[in-house]
């Protein structure tokens, strides 16, 4: 195996594949990156069993300027190899692998020899046994991911809640995540997919988080294929496989209140700043809780926090509209921060039923497609 | 106590004082920042016993726009207070402290109340019982610090080596640091100081490191006063006190070889890149060592590293001149990286006597004022 490639282009491909590789994995070959060189392309594969990423540098890529001298394949220690490539002195590098899987990396005056592993020991790619697929623009998928993974549980006690529940039915995609303290739900219409397509799967939040970081903020097409226990996202030169979580996701539909007794409309960015201030105090104390008091007759909204040993904070909130019944409600400000950040710049409607019932945040324009729900904290 | 101040200007003063404050300190008052308000200035003091920083916001500072309403003083929890000031919504803030040392911080719609401590419990400032002083430009002092602290020991086994040895005599300043594996020595002539001034002190490396971060890259004057067990650096609005280390610093003068048998001249930046590459391999293996081979007849300099379980690296080095005897020498590449970085962009002369004797790096122009010395590693 021998090839020459442009170093900077190669680094960008390597960085993509490295996302799948964890140095904590116990299996030696999975700490490695697999290189497979054919006459017309160099394939890079990395995997941590849950996630597998494959990306292809074709000889047609002018930036990469790949020159194939001899086909072959090898597994090289990922972090070490990538660090070497990053530090090499010249614009190109040549990599040659001998029959004992020792790789010689040459770039200008610099020559590294590093020990590789037999590529046959690398796990096989997951199988996607379906031709069905649907397509989302990269920026839309990236948005759905960032809006839902925020509410995914990071506790392994209920593994099912570490995933995002994806339901595709009637040409609509529904994505829901909840850690049982808060919930985030996003809907998208998929007018251009086959009406027969129906899926109900749970994708690990970590897989989606890493995928989100790789997706561009543009409308490049992402092709999504779902099989029994795997999902495959294909975009650009990259195939991104993730294992699915097994089990039944809880029924979250009935958790979202359909009516409200108090509503307040406000600017998400302004509110985020107020919550951040109040959380300085709640973080310093024992209880990470802030209190919101809404007085409709006086048209007054007050955010406050109190930790006797540390101090207290009180702030009058700016809002655009406040209607319904007076209310006092306490909640974890970190959940509120995550929720507000997921809206970006927008006017938000927060709707309450009772002080101890979950309340919702939706964009005030078009509140059907995106809902954040937060469960309050009992403080008495 | 009550004052109003511009928030951003206040933050920059607070950040300076915060450098002295460690959240790890066991003494409660030292986790705080002391504020002392007089009719014409607000004094901020922070201390971790080793370092004490005092900075003064005077009513004459237009940026700070300090308005004094009622004199007084208080200790406030440093990190918490500074975080609050950073997040407040408006351009100014008002701070009012009652007789129970509870502070009310108001900025626009936001109001915090935080519990402070009695300012009388704060330690007294160190005493500097001398009128003698000398002056260095801030950029020169900053350079001397960065060039020497690199070689300071971070091991508490020989506490004396955690400091920088400063000797002032015959209108010259000599700064030396060594961790017994490497040494850095810098000389500066102080033509403008009194010929009678003579000091021999050891300043903790950590104190100098923090001081270096506060000094500007300009020629602002830093006034230095040294007493029995304290040194005081005064610049701008700030007084920076550091404890001195007690004990005798080892005699380092005789460690620096005065002759050489092999000399190589090279570009510091180019060499740093080569060493960084070679250290990728030495860091991955068990022995953090690289080997330099100098062949004078062939005019060849080769840097190599070998870790049988990982691989090997070899690189032909570019140099400007190579004279004397052939040599093979092994050393810790991290010491070499630190040394090379301390020169910045410069041509360096590296001089060797024998393979197991310390070797030196000096700027090829004017090699008298700055020497880095590295002890080689025995590899056989």
Query: What topology does CATH give the domain B134-253?
Result: DNA Polymerase III; Chain A, domain 2 (3.10.150)
- Residue A255, judged by CB atoms within 10 A of its CB (0-12, 13-18, 19+), counts as middle
The pLDDT assigned to A127 comes to: 87
**Check: CATH 2.60.120.10 for B2-121?**
no
Query: What topology does CATH give the domain A257-374?
Result: Proliferating Cell Nuclear Antigen (3.70.10)
Across B147-161, average pLDDT: 94
Chain B residues closer than 8 Å to A76 by CB: none
Question: Chain B interface residues facing chain A, Cβ-Cβ under 8 Å?
Answer: 77, 80, 83-84, 87-89, 102, 109-115, 273-274, 276-277, 280-281, 284, 309-318
Q: pLDDT at residue B151 above 80?
A: yes
Q: Which residue of A has its CA nearest to B110?
A: A315
Q: pLDDT at residue B367 above 80?
A: no
Cβ proximity of A329 and A283 under 8 Å:
no
Q: Per-residue pLDDT tens for B242-270?
A: 999 999 999 999 999 999 999 999 999 99
First to last CA, chain B: 70
C-alpha distance from B311 to closest chain A C-alpha (Å): 4
The pLDDT assigned to B194 comes to: 84
Please indicate whether the domains covering A134-253 and A257-374 agree at the CATH topology level.
no
Q: What is the mean pLDDT of chain B?
A: 95
**What architecture (CATH level 2) is domain B256-374?**
Box (3.70)
Q: pLDDT at residue B192 above 90?
A: no
Q: Using CA atoms, how far apart are residues A288 and A31, in angstroms rounded to an integer? A: 39
Across B49-60, average pLDDT: 96
Tell me what percent of the residues of chain B surpass a pLDDT of 90: 86
In chain B, what are the domain boundaries?
A: 2-121, 134-253, 256-374
Q: pLDDT at residue B167 above 80?
A: yes
- A102, B178, B185 from B248: Cα distances, Å: 53, 14, 17
C-alpha distance from A5 to closest chain B C-alpha (Å): 19
Q: How confident is the model at residue B130 (pLDDT cuts 50, 70, 90)?
A: confident
The pLDDT assigned to B129 comes to: 85
Q: Using CA atoms, how far apart are residues A233 and A133, in angstroms rounded to an integer? A: 10
Q: Which residue of B has its CA nearest to A271?
A: B89
Chain A residues closer than 8 Å to B276 by CB: 87
The pLDDT assigned to B263 comes to: 97
Q: pLDDT at residue B380 above 70?
A: no
ipTM: 0.86
Cβ <8 Å between B87 and A280: yes
> How many other C-beta atoms lie within 10 A of the C-beta of residue A9?
18
Q: How confident is the model at residue B26 (pLDDT cuts 50, 70, 90)?
A: confident
Interface A-B, measured as beta-carbon pairs within 8 A, has a size of 81
The pLDDT assigned to A232 comes to: 97
| DSSP state letters, B15-77 | HHHHTT--TT-SSGGGGEEEEEE-SSEEEEEEE-SSEEEEEEEETT-TTT--EEEE-EEEEEE
Cβ <8 Å between A112 and B281: yes
Give pLDDT tens digits along chain A (380 positions): 999 999 999 999 999 999 999 888 888 899 999 999 999 999 999 999 899 999 999 999 999 999 999 999 999 999 999 999 999 999 999 999 999 999 999 999 999 999 999 999 999 988 898 889 999 999 999 999 999 999 999 988 899 999 999 999 999 999 999 999 999 999 999 888 888 899 999 999 999 999 999 999 988 999 999 998 999 999 999 999 999 999 999 999 999 999 999 999 999 999 999 999 999 998 888 889 999 999 999 999 999 999 888 899 999 999 999 999 999 999 999 999 999 999 999 999 999 999 899 999 999 987 789 999 999 998 76
């Amino acid at each position: 195996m021998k090839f020459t490639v442009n170093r900077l282009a190669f680094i960008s491909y390597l960085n993509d594949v490295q996302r799948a590789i964890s140095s904590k994995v116990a299996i030696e070959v999975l700490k490695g990156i697999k290189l497979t060189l054919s006459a017309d392309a160099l394939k890079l594969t990395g995997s941590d069993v849950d996630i597998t990423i494959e990306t292809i540098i074709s000889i047609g890529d002018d930036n990469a300027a790949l020159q194939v001298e001899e086909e072959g394949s090898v597994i090289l220690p990922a972090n070490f190899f990538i660090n070497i490539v990053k530090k090499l002195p010249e614009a190109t590098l040549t990599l040659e692998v001998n029959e004992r899987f020792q790789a010689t990396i040459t770039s200008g005056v610099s020559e590294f020899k590093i020990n590789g592993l037999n590529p046959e020991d690398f796990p096989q790619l997951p199988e996607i046994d379906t031709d069905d697929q649907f397509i989302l623009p990269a920026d839309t998928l990236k948005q759905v991911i960032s809006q839902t993974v925020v509410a995914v549980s990071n506790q392994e006690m209920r593994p099912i809640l570490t995933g995002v529940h994806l339901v595709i039915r009637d040409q609509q995609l529904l994505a829901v995540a909840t850690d049982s303290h808060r919930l985030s739900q996003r809907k998208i219409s998929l007018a251009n997919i086959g009406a027969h397509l129906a899926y109900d799967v749970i994708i690990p939040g970590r897989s989606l988080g890493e995928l989100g970081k790789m997706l561009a903020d543009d409308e490049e097409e992402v092709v999504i294929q779902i099989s029994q226990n795997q999902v495959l996202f294909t975009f650009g030169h990259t195939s991104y496989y993730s294992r699915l979580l097994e089990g039944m996701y809880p029924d979250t539909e009935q958790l979202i209140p359909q009516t409200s007794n108090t509503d307040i409309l406000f600017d998400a960015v302004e509110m985020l700043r107020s919550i951040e201030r109040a959380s300085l105090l709640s973080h310093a104390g024992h209880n990470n809780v802030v209190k919101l008091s809404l007085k409709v007759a006086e048209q007054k909204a007050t955010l406050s926090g109190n930790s006797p040993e540390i101090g207290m904070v009180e702030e009058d909130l700016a809002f655009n509209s406040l209607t319904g019944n007076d209310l006092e409600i306490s909640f974890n400000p970190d959940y509120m921060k995550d929720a507000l950040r997921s809206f970006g710049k927008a006017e938000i409607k927060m709707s309450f039923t009772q002080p101890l019932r979950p309340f919702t945040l939706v964009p005030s324009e078009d509140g059907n497609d995106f809902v954040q729900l937060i469960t309050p904290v009992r403080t008495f």
